[in-house]
Structure 1
Amino acid sequence: MPSHSPARILNLGILAHVDAGKTSLTERLLHAAGVVDELGSVDDGSTRTDSLALERRRGITIKSAVVSFPLDGVSVNLIDTPGHPDFIAEVERVLSVLDGAVLVVSAVEGVQPQTRLLLRTLRRLAIPTLVFVNKVDRRGADGDRVLAEIGRKLTPAVVAMGTVRSPGTQGARAVPYAPDDAAFRARLTECLAERDDALLTAYVDDDLAALTPARLRAALAEQTRRAEVHPVFFGSAITGTGITALTDAVKELLPAASGPPDGPLAGAVFKVERGPAGEKVAYARLYSGVVRVRDRVPLAGRATDSADTGGAVTGRVTDGKVTAVSVFERGAAVPRGTAAAGQIAQLWGLGDIRIGDVLGDVRAVPERHAPRRHFAPPTLETVVVPRRAADKGALHAALTQLAEQDPLIGLRQDPLRQEISVSLYGEVQKEVVEATLAEEYGIGVEFRGTTTLCVERVVGTGAHAEIIDTAPNPFLATVGLRVEPAPPGAGVAFRLGVELGSMPYAFFKAVEETVRETLRQGVYGWEVPDCVVTMTHSGYWPRQSHAHAVFDKSMSSTAGDFRQLTPLVLMDALRAAGTRVCEPLHRFRLTVPADVFGTLLPVLGRLRAVPRAPVVRGSSYVLDGVIPAAHVHELERLLPGLTRGEAEWDSAFERYEPVRGAPPTRPRTDHNPLDRKEYVQRVTRRTGTGAG
């Protein structure tokens, strides 16, 4: 291993619901480690990780940021992530590179919708996670209430490692439990014994000699590293109380990065940004091997869109030459000649790099670290129009660059209407896109016609085939496809029901890639995200030449024939199977004064919200329920006036449900394979081939 690489590395994520204090905690950890001399402030826009002007101005994290600090021989790469749900895609990409996480919960607000979503995902991915209850010094802080909420709403597999004295005051202190505290030892043993038979036996037999503090601490570390138990710590990022106990736990209870530096190069790209000169800078977590300046490294593309392949390689394989390498040390990125397994590296020179790409050997990237879809896709789409017509070309180039940094900003260009649409999570993200285009690219824009992004679910099984040299097939290819439904979240699976050797592999690849592309616009124009497509028929004409060895396209199949025929076959199969348009629903929690509850109910009904029975909490009502995503923004706009500004509102994507009534349609941006005559005319005109 290169001499500059530390003995132990921990890639640590800081995650939370917005305003729980993630960035302040990051700043406090850097200060405690001596990396920064003065604490930065979110309110003042002086924090180390919120480096964008827009982040400083709004006081929220928009882009994930990496900083590093030393911790008693461990080099911690700390990744601060956005907490606002509009930027959940940033969190999603970070999850695949973490060794451990700290989930921050506010001691005042307690468990919030994003908190539940995050821990559920962390547990599903088996990422070791500590919980830090922040803001114990804030008025209204109640550590006991929040601890009970964590056990009830997140997971019962939690154990408090301390308590709070004088909560809700400036003098609040987080006090760790002593290892020999009998009550604490009993609670810890009871929690750990559920997954440790030896401890359970000792606990039942009241064998105190076997339940030593050292034995319990070792069992706690083991179960925490397996993501089975989540220790809970209390403190305040502002005052610093409780920070020492948290950093001790990070060092002792979370696992360090592992991976052979002498193995084959393997890494995953989780972030791409543009440097001062417009060059791409890739952030990659290395799992194996070493990358050096001037190395030529292979890049394999992974699916990262909503119709993904479960992390499988998509077939885009290229390479690039690394021109510069930086690693993170003591709060900053430091230029180095190499980066090794376990480290997070910034890499320059890889012009074709994309988020989700794998560097080197795909097989050496652990399965848990494969980029996958963990959260819901965007549910809004809006048309972006430049204020000056002359900026149309520059707008497309700028949005393309933004989409490189955030692949879930799905660009759709409609050549007929000369419009560009982007998919978004919410109104705040729209404001950020607008400000970014203005400040970084000098382009003023307006948004028109924000619509809800629906999906199409396959209802039954449908099949269609077209045979080469048989009307009405105008292309030199045989393609047969069967479409079947798949469970929500399963993605698109492409399978072969014919022999792989029945035609060149490139033709099969052309069909698969075209199937995935075509499914972005189903029968009603919406994406078809979950289905199984099986190729049932295949056939081609081998390469034909005249006597003087001149290639004759009119007698020879090409990959283009398969790309052009596949949309016609697939759409006929989809029509035979049937699709149902489904709209996104958000779950919500709404707290309102009791005296306005009666006037609020008719509004909820008009907006098609379905609340559950209210829960009385003092002089307020708490409502949980679901509401169509299309009406979330309108309700958020109405709530201040309906509740005298006293409403507390949270919402997050929940699921898709079939649309009531006539299914909405989405304008197509392709050559419309639903209309055979129009489609054939367009593609043959574009390619200059005859229609046969």
Structure 2
Amino acid sequence: MSPAAEIARRRTFAIISHPDAGKTTLTEKFLLYGNAIHLAGAVKDRKNQRATTSDWMELEKQRGISISSTVLQFDYTGYAVNLLDTPGHKDFSEDTYRVLTAVDAALMVIDAAKGVETQTRKLFEVCRRRGVPIFTFMNKCDRPTRNPLELLDELETVLGLQSSPVVWPLGNGPTSFRGVFDRRSRQVHLFERVPGGAFQAPVQVTSLEDPTVRAKFDDVTFAEVQEQLAMLDGAGHPFDLEAVRAGRQTPVYFGSAVNNFGIQLLLDGFLKDSVPPAPRRRALHAPGTAVEITSETVTAEDKDGIVPVEAPKFSGFIFKIQANMDPKHRDRIAFLRVCSGKFERDMTVVHSRTGKTVRLSSSHKLFGQERETVNEAWPGDVIGLVGHSEFGIGDTLTEDREIVYDEIPRFAPEVFSFISNPNPSDSKKYRAGLEQLLQEGVVQAFTARNGPPGSTLLAAVGPLQFEVVQWRLQSEYNAESRLTPTNWTIMRWLEPHPSLADTSRIVVASGVSFGTDKFDHPVIFFPNEWTMRYFAEKNPELKMHDLPLEQTRTLEP
């Protein structure tokens, strides 16, 4: 197969949702269709202690939630699928934000009884800012749901996203839901109950005018379905593939992941309409790297900073690091998104941040916690590189020294706590574990000028991230830790200013503290909104930002 054909068949996407919308269950159903697994484990099934394929971490199994994003790869009807399952809980959204830099499309799962929820809005906004095309799946249609027309209206009013239903539900709830209608093929996919109260899908494909279909519905339900479909045909937005791929329109599917309603229609439609790997924009200036980019060496076709996927030289960036996925080996995997050229095992590349050449000999195709050696990969693929303690999140690996990516965003944390080692005899294990977790980006670390001696200031989006840090320190490194909460709730980055050389002269309210991030950029911590407003009023020369300075423009819409 030619390089162009290999690239064109790649589909790399993430599934995003509010917690409990059914994201992990949908992931497992996709894997079943791809023959990647043979038994889908219910997330909350404790009877047989089964676990979902994507939730491999022991703490995930205990809590019944996704904590760490997971890469799952399989082939399906000619497509090479790279599926990135992400945490839905808001406390782990930083991991999700980083994963979204590595995908070409996103599948947004919504509970059809609840509509657009808070975390869904936040994740959608990240996708919108990055121009990631979004497909929507209205889940749990086998339960009582909101009016599907109201759900479409909410997508447009709350998210500002034009919606075009591809698959429409026939009926509502456990007693009247009978299947789905494919608006493109104009066919009805009927489903039937099986012993035990579950469903199997589909058992029959026919037209809406078929007497068999009419017999499945009472008069009220059938009339309502006809009216809804007539409204969509007459006043709904027609499907526009160009608008979908530009992120202006979302195709909408309805079904039930747990009961396999409409899942194959969703998977087939998504793979057909979503985008193949897209070109990436390289950094024209790459501060913090050992590679100097000069305008004289930039090729004519790359003057705008675009690196085409068909470029002959390999390049990619690391968007995630995970240690101890295999407890037997205590190894470390760097997840790399291939952006251009062809990856080949044992190839030598430049590590842009250090300028050193490295040999990539231990490369793997990933499936949750499992892995197998991969010898080649193409743009769109995600590969796991084992070892290489020098690699960090955001690093570029490339055959072309002029290519450096700056893809990974950072966000202002919302909770802060000092962590320390209560057992001096465990100091070596404690330091090694904490250093590894900080490299993975499980939490952020800052320096505060008035912190307890010997402690590290951790910062996160939610307090559950601190629980993960302590749990992993104990379970993976046998190191105890102690958390000391702070009263800070807000952090801002500060523009450099001469007055920051002596912060004792700056007027601040009680409880405010200065510090630095891992790049020694100045930051400031506030207990509440009032203390932040007071600081801004008394020190107008000091400019604050809720994003690092290098991101204040790149993340703007």
- Same fold at TM > 0.5: yes
What residue is the counterpart of 1:338 in the other structure? 376
Q: Distance in 1 between matches of 2:374 and 2:507?
A: 49
| Letter in structure 1 aligned against 2:168 | T
Q: Distance in 1 between matches of 2:453 and 2:487?
A: 16
| Cα pair distance change 1:56/1:173, threshold 3 Å | farther
User: Contact 1:325–1:339 at 8 Å: present in 2 too?
Assistant: no
| Cα pair distance change 1:85/1:318, threshold 3 Å | farther
Q: Distance in 2 between matches of 1:32 and 1:294?
A: 33
| Letter in structure 2 aligned against 1:273 | Q
Alignment partner of 1:293 is 2:345: yes
Alignment partner of 1:43 is 2:44: yes
**Could you tell me which of 273, 279, 284 is aligned with 1:253?**
273
**Could you tell me which of 262, 272, 279 is aligned with 2:331?**
279
| Letter in structure 1 aligned against 2:252 | V
What residue is the counterpart of 1:178 in the other structure? 183
User: Contact 2:413–2:490 at 8 Å: present in 1 too?
Assistant: no
Q: Distance in 2 between matches of 1:55 and 1:522?
A: 45
| Cα pair distance change 1:399/1:522, threshold 3 Å | farther
| Letter in structure 1 aligned against 2:25 | S
**Could you tell me which of 456, 462, 470 is aligned with 1:426?**
462
User: Contact 1:100–1:254 at 8 Å: present in 2 too?
Assistant: yes
| Cα pair distance change 1:95/1:40, threshold 3 Å | same
User: Contact 1:70–1:330 at 8 Å: present in 2 too?
Assistant: no
| Letter in structure 2 aligned against 1:76 | V
Q: Distance in 2 between matches of 1:159 and 1:300?
A: 43
**Could you tell me which of 342, 355, 358 is aligned with 1:317?**
355
Alpha-carbon distance, 1:662 to partner: 10
Alpha-carbon distance, 1:364 to partner: 4.9
User: Contact 1:327–1:345 at 8 Å: present in 2 too?
Assistant: yes
CA displacement 1:193-229 (0-9 Å, x = unmatched): xxxxxxxxxxxxxxxxxxxxxxx65xx2222111111
| Letter in structure 1 aligned against 2:337 | R
What residue is the counterpart of 1:120 in the other structure? 125
What residue is the counterpart of 1:396 in the other structure? 431
| Cα pair distance change 1:40/1:329, threshold 3 Å | closer
Q: Distance in 1 between matches of 2:258 and 2:534?
A: 47
What residue is the counterpart of 1:268 in the other structure? 317
CA displacement 1:366-392 (0-9 Å, x = unmatched): xxx742426x32122212233433223
User: Contact 2:18–2:89 at 8 Å: present in 1 too?
Assistant: yes
Unaligned runs of 5+ in 2: 187-225, 279-307, 540-557
CA displacement 1:421-472 (0-9 Å, x = unmatched): 211222222222222222112122231233325445769x9558xxxxxxxx
| Cα pair distance change 1:102/1:393, threshold 3 Å | same
Match of 2:330, SS state, is coil
User: Contact 2:56–2:369 at 8 Å: present in 1 too?
Assistant: no
**259-268 or 343-352: which moved more?**
259-268
What residue is the counterpart of 2:13 in the other structure? 12
User: Contact 1:165–1:175 at 8 Å: present in 2 too?
Assistant: yes
Q: Distance in 1 between matches of 2:179 and 2:534?
A: 49
What residue is the counterpart of 1:222 in the other structure? 242
Q: Distance in 1 between matches of 2:457 and 2:158?
A: 38
| Cα pair distance change 1:425/1:416, threshold 3 Å | closer
Q: Distance in 1 between matches of 2:20 and 2:185?
A: 36
What residue is the counterpart of 1:326 in the other structure? 364
What RMSD, in angstroms, separates the aligned Cα atoms of the two structures? 3.8
Q: Distance in 1 between matches of 2:466 and 2:135?
A: 33
Alpha-carbon distance, 1:657 to partner: 5.2
Alpha-carbon distance, 1:23 to partner: 0.6
User: Contact 2:104–2:277 at 8 Å: present in 1 too?
Assistant: yes
| Letter in structure 2 aligned against 1:257 | P
CA displacement 1:60-101 (0-9 Å, x = unmatched): 111110112323211111000011111111111111111111
| Letter in structure 2 aligned against 1:153 | V
**280-289 or 183-192: which moved more?**
183-192
Q: Distance in 2 between matches of 1:141 and 1:437?
A: 44
Amino-acid identity (%): 25
User: Contact 1:136–1:143 at 8 Å: present in 2 too?
Assistant: no
Alpha-carbon distance, 1:409 to partner: 2.4
Q: Distance in 1 between matches of 2:507 and 2:433?
A: 28
What residue is the counterpart of 2:28 in the other structure? 27
Alignment partner of 1:384 is 2:419: yes
What residue is the counterpart of 1:235 in the other structure? 255
What residue is the counterpart of 2:385 in the other structure? 347
Alpha-carbon distance, 1:241 to partner: 0.4
Q: Distance in 2 between matches of 1:95 and 1:38?
A: 28
**Could you tell me which of 516, 526, 535 is aligned with 2:514?**
526
What residue is the counterpart of 1:552 in the other structure? none
Alignment partner of 1:150 is 2:170: no
1:182-221 alignment, distance < 5 Å: 187=232, 220-221=240-241
Q: Distance in 1 between matches of 2:72 and 2:369?
A: 5
Q: Distance in 2 between matches of 1:161 and 1:383?
A: 50
CA displacement 1:99-158 (0-9 Å, x = unmatched): 111011111222111111111221221111101111112345553443332222112411
CA displacement 1:380-413 (0-9 Å, x = unmatched): 2212233433223322221110011116421549
| Cα pair distance change 1:148/1:326, threshold 3 Å | same
**Could you tell me which of 483, 490, 497 is aligned with 1:447?**
483
User: Contact 2:55–2:368 at 8 Å: present in 1 too?
Assistant: no
**Could you tell me which of 59, 63, 77 is aligned with 2:64?**
59
Alpha-carbon distance, 1:246 to partner: 0.8
Q: Distance in 2 between matches of 1:373 and 1:340?
A: 24
| Letter in structure 1 aligned against 2:482 | E
